[in-house]
Structure 1
Amino acid sequence: MKYGVIGAGAMGVRFGTMIQENAGCDVDFIDTWEPNVEKIREQGGVYIARDHENKHIVPINIYYPEEYQGDPDAWIIFVKQMQLKDVMKRCAPIFKDHQIAFSAMNGMGHFDIISQYFPKERIIGGTAMIATVFNGPGDVDFMGAAGNEVMHMCNYDEQINDYTNAIEADFKQAGLGPVVTQNFMGTMMSKVVFNAVVNTICTMFEIQMGQFIQYPGVREMATQMFNEAYDACERAGIKLVETRQEEIDSVETVSHAYAYHYPSMYQDFSKNRPTEVDYINGYIAKIGREHDYVCRTHEFVVHEVHLAEQMRQFKSRFDVKDEQPVAEEV
């Protein structure tokens, strides 16, 4: 299949180049951030490393939406939640009826936007335990040893079809470790509730995942937050693909595996950009409110993160971590 990647950031580059390099598929990249597009064109591709080693250029084709004339079979969408509406509007003229849309973005809310351009039967949702760092325009670092990539994918309408199988085959050959499910909301929310603990707490305390897991009260904190999330989902009729205990255990295993990684929410925070907390903890709280259940911890955490964002205005410019790389963990 031929792919078009919308968003040539950390995860977009990782998925796109792995499919291009390992699966031998044609891949085009679409981006709207001018510094990134121009830098990639200037250097003849994107710099890629794995765990800070073997940094090399991978040639890619990159376009602004307005100049793209290609016709991919499937779009892979990796854009920040807050930017997606505007990016999709710019890309709308290049979408065609026969195309498929896949997205494994952080948080929830993006499928409401994507479904304005693609029918449910042509949308595939995904989640990924794949940490990637965007050092700057045209410069990406894959975190974790090759072969450790794990992701889930599920059709929005929960029906497996020929294009699901075709994309799964390409992702498998690419080394992305796909697992196909038939429980859309349960699959998507399993990653949301994980991020609602690790991403958010690491952001509030500006720490790496390995530092976070050293605190002896992590399991108790995680249990409290997961219980709220699972209670809200159960009231909404959403059955998560992982049990409560599996989610709690995953906090420890994943945090140890990516000990030196700063989650994506922290990277946005450290760059003075808005975080996606409303689409993670806020989305869990929204599900609770809609089903007569108050997720008090998640409601409070949303306020804490927004308070921390607002308080940055009082920091000296010398205190702000302007040089931290941008990371995406989806």
Structure 2
Amino acid sequence: MVMMKYAVIGAGAMGYRYGVLLQENAAKSVDFIDTWAPNIEKVRQQGGVYVSRDHEGRHLVPISISTPEDYQGDPDVWIIFLKQMQLEDALKRCEPLFKDHQVAFSAMNGWGHFEKIQQYFPKDRIYGGTAMIATVLNGPGDVDFIGKPGAGSMHMCAMTEEVTEVEQAMAADFKAANLNPIITQNFQGTCLAKIIFNSVVNTLCTMYQITMGQFVSYPGAMDMATQLINEAYDALERAGFQLIQTRQEAIKEVDFVSRVSNPLHYPSMYQDMSKGRKTEVDYINGYIAKVGREHDYPCRTHEFLTHGVHLAELAFQIHQQEAAKA
């Protein structure tokens, strides 16, 4: 089995979770690279990142963090967890660090990141996936893992859809880290599964500023989920995509994750909006709507919700401005 060294590009909520668990549970060498100066400065000042689980047990985990320009390491695997809007600039800054023996793995939200990653890595060195794992970045150098140890799961797939020795080694490390990996051989279908999930839960929880548990407690929640999922499947199937779940399985996943796994969780899209950052809705509901337009199947609900989230962003900013004046 190949022995892997890792570097995480994007020391945010999910980047910290993957990196810290690989370091602590799988005893792997992990470096962190970030472009957010306050985060880097805070980690260096306190000697690591503070990690909690479900708001309890806050403790300091020593980690190594660098800017792209300062980094001197040579990892085998780049784990990429950035917001879609940040990715292009971060990859450009990291370009001098990329070498022929390295591979890239990303389980970012939305769609669009693999086109950017392919500018630096060939198809046979790219692995994608999904992460049904809830995590909150409280602030610079401070992260909260939501759910009990081992909660959540992930799928991973080679862009070539061929299972490689490298992928098996990564999966073994992810398993040791308690991330529950499942290898598939359907790249697009695997990655689209998380987009479909997020197009329901992230979007609606953000618009109404509620937790996943509060969403699923609404009597009409599954009717709303069914409408969005059916519309997404109709568009994606017309585009020729083969999904890894049936529609019924996707609906059940929304219910289970919201009701059982992460009922107290505010999705990442809401976390972005509540901190005054742009959301990734254009890469989630907006992407599904784009596929629909390109294949003569208007996704009216996804189009509406894309605008709805942008309106919620504006409303949140207005309320913050008014509160600051009061």
Q: In which range does the TM-score fall when normalised by the shorter chain?
A: over 0.9
Structure 1 position 311 matched with structure 2 position 315: yes
Match of 1:169 in 2: 172
1:308 Cα deviation after fit: 2.2
Match of 2:131 in 1: 128
Match of 1:271 in 2: 275
Q: Is the 8 A contact 2:112 2:283 kept in 1?
A: yes
- Give the counterpart of 2:51 among 43, 48, 51: 48
Match of 2:294 in 1: 290
CA distances 1:214-259 after superposition (whole Å, capped 9, x unpaired): 1101111111110010001111111111110111111111111211
CA distances 1:165-224 after superposition (whole Å, capped 9, x unpaired): 111111111111000000011111111001000100001111111111111011111111
Structure 1 SS opposite 2:171: helix
Q: Is the 8 A contact 1:202 1:208 kept in 2?
A: yes
RMSD: 1.1
- The AA in structure 2 aligned to 1:19 is L
- CA separation in 2, counterparts of 1:149 and 1:197? 18
Structure 2 SS opposite 1:42: helix
Match of 1:325 in 2: none
- CA separation in 2, counterparts of 1:95 and 1:220? 46
Does the C-alpha gap of structure 1 residues 318 and 146 become closer, same or farther in structure 2, counting only changes over 3 Å?
farther
> What are the equivalent positions in structure 2 for 1:83-122 lying under 5 Å apart?
83-122=86-125
Structure 2 SS opposite 1:300: helix
- CA separation in 2, counterparts of 1:103 and 1:276? 16
> What are the equivalent positions in structure 2 for 1:248-263 lying under 5 Å apart?
248-256=251-259, 257-263=261-267
Match of 2:61 in 1: 58
- Give the counterpart of 2:233 among 213, 223, 230: 230
- CA separation in 1, counterparts of 2:210 and 2:315? 18
- Give the counterpart of 2:248 among 242, 245, 248: 245
- Give the counterpart of 1:155 among 158, 174, 188: 158
Q: Is the 8 A contact 1:132 1:142 kept in 2?
A: yes
- Give the counterpart of 2:34 among 31, 34, 47: 31
- CA separation in 2, counterparts of 1:319 and 1:162? 55
- CA separation in 2, counterparts of 1:269 and 1:142? 20
Tell me the percent identity. 65
Match of 1:138 in 2: 141
Q: TM-score, normalised by structure 1?
A: 0.95
- CA separation in 2, counterparts of 1:107 and 1:66? 27
1:317 Cα deviation after fit: 3.1
Q: Is the 8 A contact 2:276 2:317 kept in 1?
A: no
Structure 1 position 280 matched with structure 2 position 284: yes
- CA separation in 2, counterparts of 1:275 and 1:92? 26
The total of aligned residue pairs comes to 320
1:318 Cα deviation after fit: 5.9
Q: Is the 8 A contact 2:69 2:94 kept in 1?
A: yes
Structure 1 SS opposite 2:14: helix
Q: Is the 8 A contact 1:149 1:175 kept in 2?
A: no
Q: Is the 8 A contact 1:135 1:141 kept in 2?
A: yes
1:33 Cα deviation after fit: 0.6
Q: TM-score, normalised by structure 2?
A: 0.96
Q: Is the 8 A contact 2:106 2:128 kept in 1?
A: yes
Any stretches of 5+ residues in structure 2 without a counterpart?
A: none
Q: Is the 8 A contact 2:103 2:121 kept in 1?
A: yes
Match of 1:193 in 2: 196
> What are the equivalent positions in structure 2 for 1:202-213 lying under 5 Å apart?
202-213=205-216
Structure 1 runs of 4+ with >4 Å offset: none
